[in-house]
Each structure stands twice: as structure tokens, then as C-alpha cells.
Amino acid sequence: MSEGFVLSDEMEMLRDNVRKFIKKEILPREQLIDLDAPFFPEDIQKEVQQLGRELGIWYVDAPEKYGGADLSIFAQTIIAEEASQHRMGAYNAAGGAFGFELPNVIFKGTPDQIERFAVPTIQKGGSGFVGITEPSGGSDPARAIETKAVRDGNKWILNGSKIFISAVEFADWGVVYARTSEGRNGITAFLVEIDAPGFSYKPIPVIRSWYPKELVFDNCEIPLENQLGEEGQGFKLAEHWLTKGRIPYAAGCIGIAVAALKMAVEYTKQRVTFKTPLADKQAIQWMIADSEVEIKAARWLTWEAAWKADRGEPFKNEASIAKLYATEVANRVVDRCVQIFGGMGVSKEFPFERWFRELRIKRIGEGPSEVHRMVIARNLLGERR
């Protein structure tokens, strides 16, 4: 944990280890693959994951007894900022070297569910998906969910669809939220295996190189033992996953902004226009200054949210503030860096254009900016107006 504005020795060591790991192990390997590749090829993937295990950073939010590192939210935040500072880092931090995202609500399940789903995934370095968002839209999942689950003897039957779902094609299972009755307490969570009868998916082309998926449930059969948590309590499980996840999500965006600004600063010292370096131009100096100020502000806000979460204090409002501000700051910083680099800023030779595309999604994922502004305002004005 940090003390005031100073990282503890333990956190500094963690930050430095991840920073060195990205520089030594990830950046050189990225030079070997396509500029827009979302993942390493399987052979490189296995190499870096083995190195991640050896470093002791493996599935950071999974309990140790199941093979994870079981790190605090603050530690996860420190890792996320450093691990994102490479070309594919806006989407695939550390190239998957520290394991992929696992729906952490699985650890609210039964011992049998954890052993069947979580443990094998952690052991092999796999991932799981989360199915919440639906074509009906709406930013309140408790009301927007229309996918229905009906009990039929010793199984549930799911019908409906989900959109913009990540990590499906590499997952063996996922957590899907479906309506079992009306109202906010009418949502139930289910563990859906990728080969479940009646389950299928297809890609949704978007602006980044890796496409999310549409999930289709056509009389999809789910064994009764795959119900996750109590019936009707799925929304509470979803909030658990979403709220904590927003903090390292924000930190990852900050890391991209940090990497972009470092590149821009070096470039302005070298690039000469009208007989003087870009660094001497006031317009450029202001872009750099504004970026540095905003990055630091975003970092403190994100650290505060992580600190409160680890102390067991209410942190939902702080998580929304961090997610809102960090994602918007990262977009502004990368946009300025594109401007500073000019034509080269939109060239695939540099990672800015890729970061620009992927960061634009970050302002929508994990709740769009407008919803987080609504959450923050409600906290000040009262829950309902």
C-alpha cells in the first residue's frame, strides 16, 4: 500500500519489476508480430506466460489457494499502469504474460464450481467471458437484460442474446446474466460452457483489430449445478465484478497515456521545424504540460479508489470518478501526441493510431462516460431525482 503520496518499498519493487519485464520481455517480442496483432502467437504466448509465472504475477485477483497471486486492488492498479505500456497494451496488457482476465465472481461460487471452471483456467493460462450487454441497449443492466432463463427440471433453458462480449473464442466458459423474474432482483448468473447445447456466437466488426462477439442462446441448456449464486442475486454479483474492475481498467488507460507522452517528449527534442526543435514551440509545450498534469491527476484519483477498496470502505463513487477521468484523459493525451507527431502520428510505424482506436472504446466499455457522470451526480444530489 502507499503512504500518502509515496509508494511503499513493496509497491515500488512491484512497479519496477513489471516495468523491467515489459521492456525486456514484451517490447522485443512485439517487434516480431504484426503491428495490429491482438495476441502473441501460441509459442510466444507460452514463453511469456511462463516468465510471468516465474515473476510471481499470475492471475492477480485470484486467490492463492487456486493458483493466483491474490494481490490487493492497489497492487493490481500499479501492475495495470505499467503492464499496458506497449503496442498491444491498451487491450492485452503484458501480452497476456500475467494471465488473462477471469470473471472474478466465479470465486463467489461453490467449491465444485471453482474447481471445475476457475482452477483449470488458471492452470493453463486461459480466460473466461462475461455476458451482460444486450442488443436492447440501456446502461442499467438490471433493467436492460431481456435474455430469459426458465427452469426445466434439473436444468435451465436460456433464450436471448448478448452483444459486444470479449474473450469468447479463447474461453472454455463464461458467466452469463439472464432474467428469471421481474425487477432488479430478477437477474440470475449462470456458468455457460462454450460447447453448451443451443449456444453460439459470431464476431461484431469494430474499429480495433480484435472483434467482440454476439452471443446467441437458442434453447440453450444449462445444468442446474451451473447456476452461480442464489436465484435473483445475479445483479449483485455483476456489480461486484464491474465496480472493482473499473480501477485497474482506469490504470491501464493511464499507462497508455504515460507511454505516449514519453515518446512525444523525446520526439519534440529531436524534431526540428523552422530551424528550432519542436520542444521550443509554446504550443507544443502546453500540450505536454497539460498532458502531464492530467496524467498525474488521473493517477491520484485511481489510487484513491484502489486505496478505499482495499480498506473495505465504500468506493463505488471513486471507481466511477477514476474510470471516467482516466479514460477521457488517455484519449486527450494520445490525441495530442498524434498532433505532435503530425503525419507520423497516424502511421502504423508508431502505436499512436492503434492506441487512438482502442482507447476510444475505453470510454464506452465498463460503463460509458455519461453513466459514470450520472452515478457521481446521484451521489451528490441523492440516489433518485
CATH number of the domain bearing residue 350: 1.20.140.10
383 in active site: no
Mean pLDDT (the chain) is 93
3 state SS of 31 = coil
More confident residue, 241 or 379: 379
Q: Are 15 and 78 in contact (CB under 8 A)?
A: yes
Q: Which of 82, 318, 353, 366 is catalytic?
A: 366
Residues 6+ apart with CB under 8 A from 312: none
Q: Global pTM?
A: 0.94
Same domain, residue pair 284 and 319: yes
Same domain, residue pair 261 and 377: yes
Whose grid coordinates read 442488443? 135
Same domain, residue pair 197 and 315: no
Last residue in a domain, options 217, 232, 247: 232
Which helix or strand (DSSP H or E) is residue 180 part of?
none
CA end-to-end span of the chain: 38
Same domain, residue pair 181 and 212: yes
Beta strands 171-179 and 127-131 are parallel
Domain range for residue 9?
Answer: 2-124
Euclidean distance between CA atoms 357 and 368, whole angstroms: 16
Number of domains forming the structure of the chain: 3
Does residue 2 register a pLDDT over 70? no
Does residue 217 register a pLDDT over 70? yes
Mean pLDDT value across residues 28-38: 95
- pLDDT confidence bin for 272, thresholds 50/70/90: confident
Distance of CA 28 to the CA centre of its chain: 24
State residue 139's pLDDT score.
Answer: 58
Last residue in a domain, options 177, 205, 232: 232
Euclidean distance between CA atoms 94 and 379, whole angstroms: 35
